[in-house]
A and B are shown apart, each in its own frame.
Chain A
Amino acid sequence: MLLALDDRQWLWIAAAFYFVVFVQGTISQLRGRPQSLGFNYALMAIGYACQLAGLYLRGMEVGGCPLGNHFEIIQFTAWSATTLYLLVGVTFRSSLLGHFTACLTAVLSLVSLLVPSWDATRRSGIFGENAWIEFHAALAVFSYGVFALLALTSLMFLLRNYSLKSKRVGGWFSFLPSIVELEQISLRLLIAGVALLTASLVVGSVWWFQDTGSTPSTKIGITVAVWAAYLVALSLRLAGPLQARRFAWACIILFAGALASLSWVGPGRTADSTVATRTFEP
């Protein structure tokens, strides 16, 4: 407990803050007024701090990084995306990235909180008391947060591109960052995400080689496939063929695929883990 609140209560508060930023941003867009970047940023930071408190309490409870069920993984992914936004968001002249991030994190947080079965049980011992495997998992999920933000900047790129091509540059389109800025930040996010996922796989593979039977081949195959897909996207982007709209679409589709793959690469797939039932007030 922290300030008499348990982990899920902190996560509910965080989700509420993200939701408020999203709703307030939507109202601003509908009114054709830019959002206050500072106000947005402050609300997102408060939500982030609450989410961090919730994840910290959960981590203390389970004695490690809270990645033991889908609820925890999605919360961690949302938290990672917010971390990245708070780090890179200030470099944008527009507050729209905050609006989009708030939308994504509010949806992820609220859905994970509203589906009790995702948090009804959790695997314990998934890291086998090994801090390196825990680090590998945390890095992997953090990279998903980076890819989530990449999907958002790609979506913003597509909207900006559409507005310029269709000559509809007024209204809320005018609050979008420029094509070049979006393209540059997307490339940087892709490089960062691939680097994090690569580091995660390198760390994980060291321990996997010592005990190849500890992880199912399906999980390894899908994890490597997600990593390879992002690596190919990065190579094609740097080499030239994958540019502009195609690059943006690729990033969105890859993230959708990566999110879907969580069902196979998530927790509970290791041989030594055990299932524990959780009780909570949903």
Chain B
Amino acid sequence: MSGPGLFVSGATHQTAPLAMREKLSPGPDPAELHGRLTAIPGVRELALLSTCNRLEIYAVADDPAALRALEDAFCAHRQLDPEDFGRVRMTRRDRDAIRHLFGVAAGLESQMVGENEILGQVKDAYAAAQALRSTGPVLNRLFQKTFQAAKLARSQTAITEGHVSVANVAVDLASNIFGALGGVRVLVLGAGDIAEKTTKAFLSRGAAPAMTVASRTIERASDLASRIEGDSLPLAEVESRLKDFDVVVGSTSAPGTLISAAAVRQAMHQRPSRPLFFIDLAMPRDIDPEVARLENVFLYNLDDLAAIAEKNLAARTAEVARCRELLQLRVEALWSQLEHHLGPGAAGRENTGSPAPGGQFAG
């Protein structure tokens, strides 16, 4: 199909493996790439969306040939073999391009369906393109309507409800027990990646709880504690200090349990009215499963948290179709406005059709 149009070309986590996506990133100077691409004859407007999961070039071009020139220029800049790029390329045109961007901004195309970060990344991409003066009437309207559509999708459907990462699910559960987490005292057993991710999830929720890290080697505990502005504790003192904490996160690689039911029972005698929440992310487990039987004590292990995260993800995925339906009306409304801006050749086009195999447009 010839004539001017709104195009998107790029690769996403759905089409390209991580190693390929690394090669597709715009590089240290995105403005330089931007300048090269906008200089291509026939390219009227341009915006680059680059995240860890996608590189997408949104362009208003005179015809598909201009888009191909743009793709070639991109490959040349990134020192990519155009054939390699062709194998992972995703292209959309006109209505499909609008539909795609709406879906991206609403989080429908994300690895974690419904995640919020992508909307901010789309906004950043638009701001960058505006700063480089590469947007015009079509992309301006496209992005503004995209932000509205994404907000609508998030508010009218359950696409963002429930957390889908284990660490965030754990923090949610802590909120279900303690309410606001501002005054909550968290003890983290272990100083590895899981411990760090979990502490960051806690710290990301508004008022920061007091964090303490305990590890077999006090240096590692102190290292993580200093990064999260918390305290450190020798692992040997953990059981005797249990009464001082509200949430205990187990994430060590110790061969046996570190916290016994007897120690928890003892701690609860000293704080009967305050619940104690154990999150056991270790394998093998750090916390004796028997503690779950104790009054006012709650224990969730890795499987429990993963099951909740999966359930939340399934609930979000079930909302995708409803969300797309909601967005479709907006896609049609926007396209009817944009086709006039695109000029002769675009107006009156009934259907842009799906991209041909290999991502090339028919016609």
Q: Is A164 an interface residue (CB 8 A)?
A: yes
Contact partners of A192 in chain B: CB under 8 A: none
Write the chain A residue with the least CB distance to B292: A165
Those of B11-32 within 8 Å (CB) of chain A? none
B208 to chain A, nearest CB (A): 18
- Which of B68-76, B138-146, B296-304 interfaces with chain A? B296-304
Q: Is A177 an interface residue (CB 8 A)?
A: yes
Q: Which residue of A169, A183, A237, A243 contacts B173 across the interface (Cβ within 8 Å)? A: A169
Contact partners of A183 in chain B: CB under 8 A: 273
Contact partners of A169 in chain B: CB under 8 A: 172-173, 176, 308
B270 to chain A, nearest CB (A): 10
Given contact pairs A165-B292, A165-B298, A170-B162, A179 touches B176 in the complex (Cβ within 8 A): yes
A162 to chain B, nearest CB (A): 12
Q: Is A240 an interface residue (CB 8 A)?
A: yes
Write the chain B residue with the least CB distance to A183: B273
Cβ of A178 and Cβ of B273 under 8 Å apart?
no
Cβ of A240 and Cβ of B304 under 8 Å apart?
no
B-side residues, CB < 8 A to A, are 158, 162, 172-173, 175-179, 272-275, 292, 295-296, 298, 300, 304, 307-308, 311-312, 315
Q: Is A160 an interface residue (CB 8 A)?
A: yes
Cβ of A243 and Cβ of B295 under 8 Å apart?
yes
Contact partners of B162 in chain A: CB under 8 A: 170
A-B contact pairs, 14 of them (CB 8 A): A93-B179, A164-B298, A165-B292, A167-B304, A170-B162, A170-B311, A170-B315, A176-B176, A178-B177, A178-B178, A180-B179, A181-B179, A237-B273, A244-B275
Query: How many A residues touch B, CB cutoff 8 Å?
Result: 24
Q: How far is the CA of A170 from the CA of B273 in the complex (A)?
A: 25
Contact partners of A93 in chain B: CB under 8 A: 179
| Among all A-B residue pairs, the 5 with the closest Cβ atoms | A178-B179, A244-B296, A181-B179, A243-B272, A179-B177
Q: Is A219 an interface residue (CB 8 A)?
A: no
Q: Which residue of B178, B273, B292, B295 contacts A245 across the interface (Cβ within 8 Å)? A: B295
Q: How far is the CA of A160 from the CA of B304 in the complex (A)?
A: 17
Contact partners of B315 in chain A: CB under 8 A: 170
Write the chain A residue with the least CB distance to B300: A167
Cβ of A178 and Cβ of B176 under 8 Å apart?
yes
Those of A223-262 within 8 Å (CB) of chain B? 237, 240-241, 243-246
Those of A139-169 within 8 Å (CB) of chain B? 160, 163-165, 167, 169
Cβ of B273 and Cβ of A243 under 8 Å apart?
yes
Cβ of A240 and Cβ of B272 under 8 Å apart?
yes
Contact partners of A180 in chain B: CB under 8 A: 177-179, 274-275
Q: How far is the CA of A241 from the CA of B269 in the complex (A)?
A: 9
Q: How far is the CA of A237 from the CA of B298 in the complex (A)?
A: 21
Cβ of A164 and Cβ of B295 under 8 Å apart?
no
Q: How far is the CA of A176 from the CA of B173 in the complex (A)?
A: 12
Contact partners of A244 in chain B: CB under 8 A: 272-273, 275, 295-296
Q: Which of A169, A174, A246 lies at the interface centre, i.e. has the most chain B CB atoms within 10 A of its CB?
A: A169
Contact partners of B173 in chain A: CB under 8 A: 164, 169
Q: How far is the CA of A179 from the CA of B315 in the complex (A)?
A: 25
B298 to chain A, nearest CB (A): 5
Q: How far is the CA of A171 from the CA of B222 in the complex (A)?
A: 40
B178 to chain A, nearest CB (A): 5
A49 to chain B, nearest CB (A): 31
Q: How far is the CA of A243 from the CA of B177 in the complex (A)?
A: 15
Q: How far is the CA of A99 from the CA of B308 in the complex (A)?
A: 26
B165 to chain A, nearest CB (A): 15
Given contact pairs A170-B162, A170-B311, A243-B272, A178 touches B175 in the complex (Cβ within 8 A): yes
Contact partners of B178 in chain A: CB under 8 A: 178-180
Contact partners of B177 in chain A: CB under 8 A: 164, 178-180
Q: How far is the CA of A165 from the CA of B277 in the complex (A)?
A: 11
Contact partners of B296 in chain A: CB under 8 A: 243-244
Write the chain A residue with the least CB distance to B303: A167
Contact partners of B158 in chain A: CB under 8 A: 32
A243 to chain B, nearest CB (A): 5
A169-B172, A181-B179, A237-B273 given; name 19 further pairs at CB < 8 Å: A160-B176, A163-B176, A164-B176, A164-B177, A165-B292, A167-B300, A167-B304, A167-B308, A170-B311, A170-B315, A174-B176, A177-B179, A178-B177, A179-B177, A179-B275, A183-B273, A240-B272, A243-B296, A246-B295
Contact partners of B272 in chain A: CB under 8 A: 240-241, 243-244
Contact partners of B275 in chain A: CB under 8 A: 179-180, 244
A40 to chain B, nearest CB (A): 20
Q: How far is the CA of A214 from the CA of B296 in the complex (A)?
A: 48
Contact partners of B298 in chain A: CB under 8 A: 164-165
Q: Which of B176, B177, B179, B295 lies at the interface centre, i.e. has the most chain A CB atoms within 10 A of its CB?
A: B176
Write the chain A residue with the least CB distance to B169: A169
Contact partners of A160 in chain B: CB under 8 A: 176
Contact partners of A181 in chain B: CB under 8 A: 179
Q: How far is the CA of A160 from the CA of B275 in the complex (A)?
A: 13
Those of A90-149 within 8 Å (CB) of chain B? 93
Please encode chain A, from 178 to 209, with 1 for each CB lying within 8 Å of some chain B CB and 0 for all others: 11110100000000000000000000000000
B34 to chain A, nearest CB (A): 44
Contact partners of A241 in chain B: CB under 8 A: 272
Cβ of A170 and Cβ of B176 under 8 Å apart?
no
Q: How far is the CA of A180 from the CA of B315 in the complex (A)?
A: 28
Write the chain B residue with the least CB distance to A178: B179
A23 to chain B, nearest CB (A): 23
Contact partners of A245 in chain B: CB under 8 A: 295
